[in-house]
Amino acid sequence: MTGQAIGEVLAFGVGVALSPLAVVAIVIMLVSPGRARSAWIFGGAWPLSLGLACGLVVLLADGADAGANGGTATWVSIVKIVLGVLLVVFGVRRWRGREREDTPGWMRQLDGITSMRAAGLAVLFTVIKPKNLLLTIGAGVAVAQTGAGPAGQVLAVVVFALLGSAGLLAPLAIHVLMPTRGQKLLVELRDWMVRENATVIAVLSLVIAAKLLGDALISLTG
């Protein structure tokens, strides 16, 4: 059961990890004079908020018998279908609007962000951004449906939170391992992420949506 629970969250974790604007935010903090501390706090608050949000979903889904009678409850499949459809709509909208996206106003303020605001921004990114919110809900429901015990569920949530934070590790590692030459790489990474933000999110949303819809159909017809 534990292995199954961990396996269920892998795709969702990768989907959250590839959050271009979060990577852009942490890069801007790293290249801004005196804001490295804010970047590290942002990077620490991200997995914490992801884990808490996913854990809450697991508790709620458990209470509603997501894995009743050793199988998947019908409502779980319905939730997956709803999440899948929402991700398709979100992905299509992002794809269609990719050419007219402007630089968000909050991004222009990151070079002076405080540590507390950086932590708050990480929380907002993980629980307010539509893609991340839908993926977190999907991961929590998927863990609950496996019927894994408390220890297995906790381990799966931890794996999801850590995997979902992997995208932030690259700029932090570059900052530590290449303190001088890394600045240029970070700027190039920031520019690429800003340019390809909509495309990355659209493709990810559609891929994860396909997984959710496929799982739901298998459960309902199996």
What are the boundaries of each domain within the chain? 2-221
Residues whose CB is less than 8 angstroms from the CB of residue 23 and which lie 6 or more positions away in sequence, other chains included: 167, 168, 170, 171, 189, 190, 193
pLDDT of residue 169: 87
pLDDT of residue 98: 66
pLDDT of residue 222: 66
pLDDT of residue 146: 85
CB atoms within 10 A of CB 26: 29
**Contact yes or no for 19/167 (Cβ under 8 A):** yes
pLDDT of residue 56: 95
pLDDT of residue 53: 94
pLDDT of residue 25: 87
State the residue for tokens 């240029």: 184
CB atoms within 10 A of CB 176: 12
pLDDT of residue 69: 61
How would you write the pLDDT of the chain (222 residues) with one tens digit per residue?
778 889 989 999 998 988 888 888 888 888 887 778 988 999 999 999 999 999 999 999 887 877 666 667 888 889 999 999 999 998 888 888 766 655 566 666 777 788 888 899 899 888 888 889 999 999 999 998 888 888 999 999 999 999 999 988 888 888 888 877 777 888 888 788 777 778 888 888 899 999 889 988 888 886
Say how far apart CA 158 and CA 63 lie, in whole Å. Answer: 20
Say how far apart CA 190 and CA 220 lie, in whole Å. Answer: 43
CB atoms within 10 A of CB 212: 27
pLDDT of residue 68: 63
pLDDT of residue 103: 57
The Cα-based distances of 189 to 44, 72, 183, 204 in angstroms read 20, 41, 10, 19
State the residue for tokens 């449906």: 145
pLDDT of residue 160: 96
